[in-house]
Structures are given as C-alpha cells and as structure tokens.
Amino acid sequence: MRILKVALLAGLAALTAMPAAAEYKEEYKISTVVPAPFPWGIAAEKWAELVGERTDGRIKMKVYPGAQLVSGDQTKEFTAMRRGIIDMAVGSTINWSPQIKELNLFSLPFLMPDYESIDVLTQGPVGEKLFAILRENGVEPLGWAENGYREVSNSKHPIRTPDDLKGLKMRVVGSPLFNDTFTALGANPTQMSWADAKPALTTGAVDGQENPLSVFTIAKMHEIGQTNLTLWHYVADPLIFAVNQDVWNSFSPEDQAIVRQAALDAGAVGIEVARKGLTGGDNSAIEEVRALGVEVIELTPEERQAFVDATRGVYADWKEKIGPEIVEMAEESIANR
C-alpha cells in the first residue's frame, strides 16, 4: 500500500509540473488591419490554417481584421499585444513604430530602392537586431511578411515632381515620420486610420493617399477619384508575425517550433502574393491598374532623385531619432547586397 501511495503521489507531482495542453486557450486572437484578399490578410489566415493543421487542432487561432481588437486604432496594436489584451498579430512596422522607434527604419524616405533591399534588411543582421528589440519589449517575433512598397495617388493631377505635391491634402498613417516627409514635399498631410481614409477620399476631404498597389486595386481606389498614381517606391511596409510573451511561454517547445515555422511559411506566401505582377519582368499588376482608367506614372531615375533630394533633411533628422547605428547597418547591408 505504501509503495502504491508513493507512486500515486509521484504521478500527481509529475502531472502538476507538466504544461498541459488542456490549459491552452480555446481560441487565440490574431490582430490585423486588413483581411484577405489583401496580402496582409492572406498571410494571417495562412498562419492560423497551418498552425491548426500541424497541431491537430490543439492550437486554434482566428484572425480579427480591421484592427477591431483595438477599437480600430491600429497604432495601439503593439501595446495591446505586449499587455496581453490580444494574443498575436501580423502587424505593420509602421503601426508599431510609435512604441518601437527602430521600426521607423523602413519608413525612412527612399532608403530601399528595390525588393532585394527589403530582403537584405529583413533576412539579415538588421532583421535580427529588430527582433531582439521586440523580444526586449514583451513579444516574441517569429517571421516576416509584406504589405509592399507604398505608392502615391491623388484625384487632382499626375505627380512627377515634388512641386506636384504642393498644397495637396494627403491622408497619411499615424506616424510623425510620414507627416514630416509629406510636409517636406510641400503637401498638407492629414493623419487618419485606414477606416477613416476611404470616406475622406470619397467626400474630397483629402485629395490623395499612399498605399501599396495591392491595396489600391483591391480597395478600388479608382472608384473614389484616385485616378493619378505615381510609382515612386519611397518606403516599404514589412509585416511581422508576433506573439505575446506570456502566450508564447505557455506553449510547449514542440508547439513553439510549429507556430514559428508556420509563421515563416505563411510569410513566404504573403510576400509572394504582395509581389505578384510587380517583379521578375512581370508588370501585370501595373497594367491591371492602367486598365481601370488610372494614369500610372513610372518615374525616371532623374525624376525619382528629385524626391530623394527634397527629403534628405527628413532622412537625416530621423536617422538620429531612430538610432544612427541601426540605420548605418541598414545602409551598409543595402550597399553590399
């Protein structure tokens, strides 16, 4: 009897020490700003799908688009995840930059001239450095996806020179860096959420906006007067898969590996979708926009350089704010790509 009692006690102690799958939440909420069929939403949905399949349903994840978990204020997403108000996110580096200043790196005007530049940053030492900073701030970053290069459109006239932006009322995201960039170009920037942007463009409260080409097409921006589009590749918007640190620590090592790999795989899908029709000699995404009756301006190197020159002061100012060390690391990585 004594042997049996000791065995039972030992068994109970072992069970108590084990992280039980039964303690997992019934559902883990993933925050995003836009749903599928936007590349952003596709990446988030794919992440949830892969995790569900690979854990045999032990971990159930559901995407909540529209920044609905933070009452539509996408700039509060990172803080909500860090505090455990939301479990996970596929988030924009732009939206998280108010809390993590180093993420403003990707919004430095004209830092990244091509897709290879984005990849060398996210997949190299700069990306590793940024992930370390995110871990220090209470979240576990897992992988990258992509929202794409942000191009500029308006309802008034074609934009080929900085002078063409002067006086235009432009919707920009809630980042001081975007405000500074468009102010330097002579525009009148107005910060507002994406939820407020389309009504403002529809009524003419603002003249233009800047977003990736996929957003322009899927959101049918041509139907609300955005008939002038300039491809200037001034900034890009990488996306980050991340999990609240306490949620992450609650997963077994085996499930952590599954969730991380699923994020990497979903990120690859998202990047492929975001770049479809824009790389490898395939310009079908651009032609699709032209077919909608939109005038699409592709800047010459000399025309683009005029915008670069006009924003050098903003670049220099924000290099100091972001941190010269990480900006110089990025500049070196791009120069040596």
Q: Which domains does the chain possess?
A: 25-335 (3.40.190.170)
Confidence check: pLDDT of 217 > 70 = yes
Mean pLDDT, residues 135-162: 97
Distance, CA of 272 to CA of 249 (rounded, Å): 31
Q: Tens digits of per-residue pLDDT, 82-99?
A: 999 999 999 999 999 999
Distance, CA of 163 to CA of 184 (rounded, Å): 11
- Helix H segments across 168-252? 176-184, 194-203, 213-218, 245-250
Q: What are the backbone dihedrals phi and psi of residue 61, each rounded to the nearest 5 degrees, phi first?
A: -120, 140
Mean pLDDT, residues 110-125: 97
pLDDT bucket at 278, cuts 50 / 70 / 90: very high
Distance, CA of 77 to CA of 108 (rounded, Å): 21
Q: Tens digits of per-residue pLDDT, 228-273?
A: 999 999 999 999 999 999 999 999 999 999 999 999 999 999 999 9
The first and second tokens of residue 205, run together, are: 């409260």
* Packing angle of the helix pair 115-122, 125-136 (nearest 10 deg): 50
CA angle at residue 298 from 293 to 300, to 5 degrees?
Answer: 155
Contact 165, 186 (CB under 8 A): yes
Distance, CA of 80 to CA of 87 (rounded, Å): 9
Confidence check: pLDDT of 14 > 50 = no
What is the reported pLDDT for 63? Answer: 98
* Packing angle of the helix pair 301-310, 312-322 (nearest 10 deg): 60
CA quadruple 173, 321, 236, 225: dihedral positive or negative? positive
- C-alpha pair distances (Å), 167 with each of 157, 205, 251: 12, 13, 52
CA angle at residue 125 from 124 to 130, to 5 degrees?
Answer: 105
Mean pLDDT, residues 113-117: 96
